[in-house]
Amino acid sequence: MAATSVTSHTPPALAPRRRPKERPAELLKAALGVFASKGYAATRLDDIALKAGVSKGTIYLYFANKEALFMAAIEAGITPLVEAVEALSLDEERPSPERLRAFMLSWWSRIGDTPLSALPRLLVAEGNNFPKAAQWFHDEIVTRVQRALARLIETGIARGELRAVEPMVAARILFAPMFAYLVWRETFGQTLCHLPPPEQFFGLAADLLLAGLVRP
Amino acid sequence: MAATSVTSHTPPALAPRRRPKERPAELLKAALGVFASKGYAATRLDDIALKAGVSKGTIYLYFANKEALFMAAIEAGITPLVEAVEALSLDEERPSPERLRAFMLSWWSRIGDTPLSALPRLLVAEGNNFPKAAQWFHDEIVTRVQRALARLIETGIARGELRAVEPMVAARILFAPMFAYLVWRETFGQTLCHLPPPEQFFGLAADLLLAGLVRP
Amino acid sequence: MAATSVTSHTPPALAPRRRPKERPAELLKAALGVFASKGYAATRLDDIALKAGVSKGTIYLYFANKEALFMAAIEAGITPLVEAVEALSLDEERPSPERLRAFMLSWWSRIGDTPLSALPRLLVAEGNNFPKAAQWFHDEIVTRVQRALARLIETGIARGELRAVEPMVAARILFAPMFAYLVWRETFGQTLCHLPPPEQFFGLAADLLLAGLVRP
Amino acid sequence: MAATSVTSHTPPALAPRRRPKERPAELLKAALGVFASKGYAATRLDDIALKAGVSKGTIYLYFANKEALFMAAIEAGITPLVEAVEALSLDEERPSPERLRAFMLSWWSRIGDTPLSALPRLLVAEGNNFPKAAQWFHDEIVTRVQRALARLIETGIARGELRAVEPMVAARILFAPMFAYLVWRETFGQTLCHLPPPEQFFGLAADLLLAGLVRP
DNA sequence: AATGAATGAGCCTTCATTCAT
DNA sequence: CATGAATGAAGGCTCATTCAT
């Protein structure tokens, strides 16, 4: 009837499972996992589809293209990360040194030791290729943690518990061990690079830094 | 046709002629630059060839394939980094607190503030895809810095200048601000993320951490 | 809650409800429109479904596949075209020159100036990919118009009104302006290609051609 | 060394033949052939590459993408077509009726009966999808033929050989049989649609139309 | 009957790799 | 040594087709 090669489509084979409402979230979760593990360019949509238990074409029912999926996955990762950051221990009743120590430890248990920890390394890796995403991550997460720490320090100074230091700079410094420990573990693996256990690391970090912060 | 003397007088002309001996090094430099900026998968050999002022085929005269070029570029970046690390200030004569402060500042001026700073971020980004390279970088660089710091601390403890802390763990903690500051600047840019100037940052970092280390 | 009578009074509402019997025809109409506008390969079933106000899957309730839909759309277009051709002015009473002129003008008003005009161009475009359809169109439409013209000429010759020419060849020649005008307008647009208005074009065409046909 | 699936390229196999200077023209010729036969959307770059004796990737060394190749192929087809049109018989010495007849016949031998004849049908088919190309074709070819015919008619009128008719409209009408015969043959095939031989067709067409044009 | 989510083959496009010059 | 034309495998994306609901 028709010319050769103009029409020649073969039908699907296996039965599809339908969960339209959950699909986007499942896809985003799978996407974030693969992106975080391989990076943007090395990730094939096939991998994501496979991980999500879905065919490649399904992705395009929910996302315009690879980049849109990436950005959405970042967003889907940032949201709970923001929540986790906001939930970090900030008990105002306790003295400042205790609060700082608790903040560090709760950072680890609520973020560092969870799947949320994949995001920071991903954004460090893709920061150059996706400046918008990097900026966004910085504004939403890094800045937020830093501000929480800075407020904690300011309160401590106001209460006379801490020395008068520049709060935003000190906050960066307090944040550095938290960030570095997480990135190291994500990049090199806990054991491969002989990272001390988190309790020991954050315990000593708090000891050392607080000694400098606390008013004699 | 013309008198021999006439033509033979024409000088060797402006023939600076490329020096094949330097080719590999030029390629590696270009490669490291592009890899560090875009990551492994997003880097095209065309880009590297263009940056090196060479044709794409030339790369294959010196390297077996993209991966070999990548590994060689990493190696070519690690070597001067190791040298820079070894050259970090370790003046044994001065008291320990001064030595630590000097170490931090010389880290910044000799590494953080130089093109060498591109490498750590690249390896954080590609750690998952090239575990061998990551391990290698960790062993050669991270461990080396850490050991230098640990030795410094051990000496300080032995001299009675510093409190008795676990040197390797304390070294990690001291290294964290150095590492974090560098990664932040590479990823988000000095100004975009409102990073304090290095002197202020490392100055306060040394103050705080030393307060915890120094024996009262 | 509310009185039964109140709610039960609400009328059967505005439920004009689709009439499944007309579905296939609506689909064919939509299909022909899109196929004619974009060609077979560039047409997506989505477009057709959208235009028909139906979901994509519905198409498969009535047609085996895209090709079957295409052929059916062609057929659905050919049928009224055949009818229109058969209805073209053939008043045997009038003298042959008048009959020819009337034939041309009624071609334009009954076919050229209606949606039926989309079909010829579509078949010119897809003739190579769908030779069966092309042959079919030619046999049903082109040949029919030609035969009508040829009969008209034969009668005129028999009556002594027209010169003795090969009727089938002369018919082709008379058909050429009709066909060309239609294709030009469909392809380039009436105004974009500065086509003269149909009355002028067909008037002059009839003048010129009849001068050659009519017996001096 | 590297992570699985990050790098896994296999080398080419067969020896490439190098004719860089002739490549673009070969590609354009092959492309025009396939596009004209199947239409834009149904044409696969593989087909073109195969026909040009080249691999698919080679196309992208010379053309940005499928559409650019299409437009370039059109252009490559239009150029010789314009030349052929300009070379159509316009011998001013002979009387106008002879000139018109010669014009028609030379149209057929120089264009209709050559590979150049593929282009008009292609542009009729793709006119809706590529309006720019259609407009271009119309301005370059259709208008040019029409103007040549119109000038011929004007001269004939000025010489008193032809009746006073609107030259541009009459030109369209004279062009119609030429255009229609070509499109019919391209679409339905010479024999399949019982097209009379060109000499007979154009001979009678000239007879009929000239009878209307020539001054009694 | 109708829907629309899901599928997967296929096509355009890229790019690491090769090789004749 | 160096080039750059050529290759072809792979990946992003589309869309005809199916099927559970």
> What are the mean pLDDT values of chain D's consecutive 10-residue runs (216 residues total)?
47 53 91 97 97 96 97 96 92 88 93 95 97 95 95 92 93 96 94 92 92 72
Of the candidates D3, D5, D42, the beta carbon closest to that of A6 is on D42
Of the candidates C65, C66, C128, the beta carbon closest to that of A3 is on C128
> Strand E within 7 Å of which CB atoms in B 37-96?
43-46, 56-57, 60, 65-67
How far apart are alpha carbons C121 and D125 in whole angstroms?
7
Give A146-205 pLDDT, tens digit per residue: 999 999 999 999 999 898 999 999 999 999 999 999 999 999 988 888 999 999 999 999
Q: How close, in Å, is residue A6 to chain B by CA atoms? A: 36
Q: What is the CATH number of the domain that holds D124?
A: 1.10.357.10
Across C194-203, average pLDDT: 94
Task: Output the CA torsion sign for C153, C159, C165, C167.
Answer: positive
Contact between the CB of D49 and strand E at under 7 Å: no
Written as one string, the DSSP assignment of A94-153 is S-HHHHHHHHHHHHIIIIITSGGGHHHHHHHHHTTT-HHHHHHHIIIIIHHHHHHHHHHH
Confidence (pLDDT) at D119:
97
Give B40-96 pLDDT, tens digit per residue: 999 999 999 999 999 999 999 999 999 999 999 999 999 999 999 999 988 888 988
Interface of D with B (CB under 8 A): 1-3, 6-7, 9
Contact between the CB of B20 and strand F at under 7 Å: yes
Say how far A42 CA is from E3 C1', in Å.
37
Q: D125 is in which domain, residue-wise?
A: 67-213
User: Residue A172 and residue B201: Cβ atoms within 8 Å?
Assistant: yes
pLDDT above 50: residue A13 = no
How many C-beta atoms surround the C-beta of residue C101 within 10 A?
19
Confidence (pLDDT) at B20:
56
Of the candidates A5, A6, A42, the beta carbon closest to that of D6 is on A42
Chain A residues with CB inside 8 Å of B41's CB?
39-42
Q: Which nucleotide is nearest to A11 (CA to C1')?
A: F17
Q: How close, in Å, is residue C173 to chain D by CA atoms? A: 6
Selection from A211, A147, A214, A215 nearest residue A175 by Cα: A147
Enumerate the H helices of chain C as residue ranges: 4-8, 23-38, 45-52, 56-62, 66-86, 96-107, 118-126, 131-137, 143-159, 167-188, 198-213
How many C-beta atoms surround the C-beta of residue C156 within 10 A?
24
Across C60-76, average pLDDT: 97
Residue B150: inside a domain, yes or no?
yes
In angstroms, how far is CA D8 from the centroid of its own chain?
Answer: 46
Structural domains counted in chain A: 1
Residue D172: inside a domain, yes or no?
yes
Element of type H or E holding A72: helix A66-86
Chain F bases closer than 7 A to any CB of the protein: 1-21
- Choose from B201-215, C191-205, D7-21 the range with maximum mean pLDDT: C191-205
Selection from D156, D178, D163 nearest residue D215 by Cα: D163
Across A105-123, average pLDDT: 95
What are the two backbone dihedrals, phi and then psi, of residue B214, each rounded to the nearest 5 degrees?
-65, 140
Task: Output the CA torsion sign for B184, B185, B190, B195.
Answer: positive
Terminus-to-terminus CA distance in chain B, angstroms?
Answer: 93
Contact between the CB of A54 and strand E at under 7 Å: yes
How far apart are alpha carbons D92 and D161 in whole angstroms?
13
How far apart are alpha carbons B88 and B175 in whole angstroms?
13
Contact between the CB of D21 and strand F at under 7 Å: no
Give B111-164 pLDDT, tens digit per residue: 999 999 999 999 999 999 999 999 999 999 999 999 999 999 999 999 988 989
D113's CB contacts (< 8 A; 6+ apart) are: D198
Element of type H or E holding A182: helix A167-188
pLDDT above 80: residue C5 = no
Chain C residues with CB inside 8 Å of D169's CB?
196, 200-201, 204
Residue D7: inside a domain, yes or no?
no
How far apart are alpha carbons D172 and C24 in whole angstroms?
40
Q: How close, in Å, is residue D1 to chain B by CA atoms? A: 6
Task: Report the residue of C66, C75, C135, C136 to disrupt the A interface, i.e. the one with the largest count of A CBs within 10 Å.
Answer: C66
Residue C60: inside a domain, yes or no?
no
How far apart are alpha carbons C67 and D187 in whole angstroms?
19
How far apart are alpha carbons C145 and C110 in whole angstroms?
13
Give C155-175 pLDDT, tens digit per residue: 999 999 898 999 999 999 999
Give A92-105 pLDDT, tens digit per residue: 889 988 898 999 99
* Closest residue by C-alpha to C1' distance, nucleotide F17: A11
Which amino acid type is present at position A202? F
Burial B56-90 (b: 16+ CB within 10 A, else e): eeebeebbeebbbbbbbbbebbbeebeebbeebbb
Residue D190: inside a domain, yes or no?
yes
Confidence (pLDDT) at A92:
81
Q: Which nucleotide is nearest to C55 (CA to C1')?
A: E3
What pTM, to 2 d.p., does this model score? 0.89
Measured CA distances, D7 to B47, B67, C213, D44, D164 (Å): 18, 7, 77, 28, 77
Say how far D117 CA is from E11 C1', in Å.
29
Give A41-82 pLDDT, tens digit per residue: 999 999 999 999 999 999 999 999 999 999 999 999 999 999
Percent of chain B with pLDDT over 70: 88
Cβ contact C88:C110 at 8 Å? yes
Chain A residues with CB inside 8 Å of C59's CB?
none
Which of the four pLDDT bands, split at 50, 70 and 90, describes residue A213?
low
B and C interact (at least 3 Cβ pairs within 8 A): no
Contact between the CB of D45 and strand E at under 7 Å: yes
Percent of chain A with pLDDT over 90: 75
Q: Any idea of the CA torsion for D81, D83, D88, D91, to the nearest 10 degrees?
A: 170
Residue A43: inside a domain, yes or no?
no
Contact between the CB of A66 and strand F at under 7 Å: yes
How far apart are alpha carbons A66 and A45 in whole angstroms?
7
Say how far D55 CA is from F14 C1', in Å.
23
How far apart are alpha carbons A5 and D76 in whole angstroms?
26
Percent of chain C with pLDDT over 90: 76
Residue A107: inside a domain, yes or no?
yes
Q: How close, in Å, is residue D45 to chain C by CA atoms? A: 15
Say how far D57 CA is from E14 C1', in Å.
9
Q: How close, in Å, is residue B134 to chain D by CA atoms? A: 11
What are the two backbone dihedrals, phi and then psi, of residue C92, each rounded to the nearest 5 degrees?
-70, -15
Cβ contact C126:D39 at 8 Å? yes
Measured CA distances, B147 to B131, B213, C24, D185 (Å): 22, 17, 80, 86
Confidence (pLDDT) at D89:
81
Written as one string, the DSSP assignment of D196-216 is PPHHHHHHHHHHHHHHHHB--
User: Residue D2 and residue B128: Cβ atoms within 8 Å?
Assistant: no
* Closest residue by C-alpha to C1' distance, nucleotide E10: A9
- The mean of the pLDDT values for chain B is 88
Across C62-67, average pLDDT: 97
Written as one string, the DSSP assignment of B43-101 is --HHHHHHHHTS-HHHHHHH-SSHHHHHHHHHHHHHHHHHHHHHTS---TTS-HHHHHH
Chain A residues with CB inside 8 Å of D5's CB?
42, 44
Residue A16: inside a domain, yes or no?
no
What are the two backbone dihedrals, phi and then psi, of residue B215, each rounded to the nearest 5 degrees?
-75, 130
A2's CB contacts (< 8 A; 6+ apart) are: C67, C70, C129, C130, C132
* Biggest distance spanned by C-alpha atoms of chain B: 93
At residue C1, the 3 state secondary structure works out as coil
Which amino acid type is present at position D117? S
Selection from C185, C210, C194, C38 nearest residue C108 by Cα: C185
